[in-house]
Amino acid sequence: LAKTTQPISMDSYEGQEVNITCSHNNIATNDYITWYQQFPSQGPRFIIQGYKTKVTNEVASLFIPADRKSSTLSLPRVSLSDTAVYYCLVGPYGGATNKLIFGTGTLLAVQP
Amino acid sequence: DAEITQSPRHKITETGRQVTLACHQTWNHNNMFWYRQDLGHGLRLIHYSYGVQDTNKGEVSDGYSVSRSNTEDLPLTLESAASSQTSVYFCASSDDRGSSYNEQFFGPGTRLTVL
């Protein structure tokens, strides 16, 4: 499974757009990119997943360049409640191979 | 509503004791996972199961065992608890039948302290 690298922490203010970039140079052809969010004292929660170009849902957008060696999670207009750890994961999806490797994640601190 | 639960939520035990952490899901998911989370290490996979009677070792399986006798439950057993196993344990499940996402559903966690 491809190793990912992401910043340890980021700071932001309420109302700003936040972009968290993840590097995955060894991504395989059948790998998808998945992001999870974890609040203190809770288990991680799925946010978004993509394979290439751009994916958007009600929570976030995921941008993946053509070479797929990196990806960017974009959170529009963050609020204090977006303070959490965000994990970038890379691996094949579905079937019997969907165990995921979590790194240390990025701690996003949103200030008023 | 379907859910995934863990019990106990907090546990204090002594070195050398056997401890079992319960995980129960009502999603009817085939796949179930156990992770531990420690400061500086993120989440690390302990064991996982793709169905009844199937179990597999993860990256930090030493000192832990699991068994899968039905779809709903994957108990995690610490055979002889050690202080290094003090951690927060998360159970998760996922569906491999037509799912479009690597979406694992996590339980609330169990905080285990080994004295």
Q: How confident is the model at residue B11 (pLDDT cuts 50, 70, 90)?
A: very high
Give the pLDDT of residue A80. 96
Q: In the predicted model, what is the mean pLDDT of chain A?
A: 90
Cβ contacts of B54-58, under 8 Å, gap ≥ 24: B58/A99, B58/B33, B58/B34
If you average pLDDT over residues A5-32, what whole number do you get? 93
- Which is higher by pLDDT, A95 or A66? A66
Residues in chain A: 112
**Cα–Cα distance measured from residue A89 to residue A33, given in angstroms and rounded to the nearest whole number:** 6
Mean pLDDT of chain B: 92
Average pLDDT over residues B16-24: 98
| Bigger pLDDT: A94 vs B33 | B33
pLDDT band per the 50, 70, 90 thresholds, residue A71: very high
Cross-chain residue pair B96–A91, CB shorter than 8 Å: no
* Alpha carbon of A46: minimum distance to chain B alpha carbons (Å): 6
Nearby residues of A4 by Cβ (< 8 Å), 6 or more positions away: A22, A23, A24, A88, A89, A90, A103
**Residue A98 pLDDT grade (very low, low, confident, very high; cuts 50, 70, 90):** low
Mean pLDDT of A71-99: 84
Omega into B8 within 30° of 0, i.e. cis?
Answer: yes
In DSSP terms, which residues pair with A99 in a beta bridge? Answer: none
Confidence of residue A95 (pLDDT cuts 50, 70, 90): very low
pLDDT at B102 over 70: no
A contacts of B31 (beta carbons < 8 Å): 98-99
Residue of A nearest to B33 (CA): A99
CA–CA dist A33, B7 (Å, integer) = 31
From the list B39, B35, B43, B42, the residue with the least C-alpha distance to B4 is: B35
Q: Residues near B103 by Cβ (< 8 Å), separated by ≥ 6?
A: A34, A46, A49, B94
What residues in A contact B48, CB-CB < 8 Å? Answer: 99
What angle (nearest 5°) sits at the alpha carbon of residue A105, between those of residues B91 and A80? 95
> How far is A48 from chain B, CA to nearest CA, in Å?
8
State the average pLDDT over residues B28-33.
Answer: 91
Is A49's CB within 8 Å of B104's CB? Answer: no
CB contact under 8 A, B96 and A96: yes
Cross-chain residue pair A98–B31, CB shorter than 8 Å: yes
Q: How confident is the model at residue B76 (pLDDT cuts 50, 70, 90)?
A: very high
